[in-house]
Amino acid sequence: MRLTLQAEYAVRTLMYLALRRGRLSTIAEIAACYEISRNHLMKVAHTLGVNELIVTVRGRSGGLKLAKAPKDINIGEVVRFIEGQSSSAENLTGKVEKDPMVGLRSALGESVEAFYESLGQYSLKSLVDGNDALKDLMLEGKST
């Protein structure tokens, strides 16, 4: 299964914010750190805010911060809601018994669920704790 850029950017944003806990981070900072589009990141931040994973503070001194502790953010859940319904098992399984592709849809649906279950074993905390390369990236502002 291939993730969308939105899912990747969402997890990267959460990782950045997890390492910068205790202070607000701007979209511009995060975009510069990863060398990614600010426009795409703004959409991702909006989605993360709507799903109550981050808090957005408006204004000149505003920015983003985690709304939950990193240990309470499940990566599988994040990817599932970012990816949305287009890659969900419900869309792949189909419900028409006479559909000649029902076997394939069932197999794909099971595979997608296994993918999300596997990601569900990881918390945001598990992705950032002990990740010295990521810490170096945040401190030095270098790209991956």
- What are the structural domains of the chain? 5-140 (1.10.10.10)
Percent of the chain with pLDDT over 70: 84
The reported pLDDT for the residue numbered 137 is: 75
pLDDT score for 131: 83
pTM of the shown model? 0.80
pLDDT at 144 (0 to 100): 44
**Using CA atoms, how far apart are residues 68 and 71, in angstroms rounded to an integer?**
8
| Cα–Cα nearest to 120, from 69, 71, 74 | 74
Residue 65, judged by CB atoms within 10 A of its CB (0-12, 13-18, 19+), counts as middle
Q: State residue 135's pLDDT score.
A: 79
Q: In this predicted model, what pLDDT tens digit does every residue of 58-108 receive, in sequence order?
A: 988 899 999 999 999 999 999 999 987 444 444 444 455 566 677 888 888
Query: Which residue has 């028409």 as its token pair?
Result: 96
Name the more confident of 139 and 114. 114
Instruction: Average the pLDDT over 29-49 and give the result.
Output: 94
Q: What is the pLDDT of residue 141?
A: 53
Mean per-residue pLDDT of the chain: 85
pLDDT attached to residue 88: 42
Which pLDDT belongs to residue 89?
A: 43
For the chain, first and last CA: distance in Å?
22
Query: Looking at residue 98, what is its pLDDT?
Result: 60
Q: Which of 70, 71, 67, 76 is nearest to 48 (CA)?
A: 67
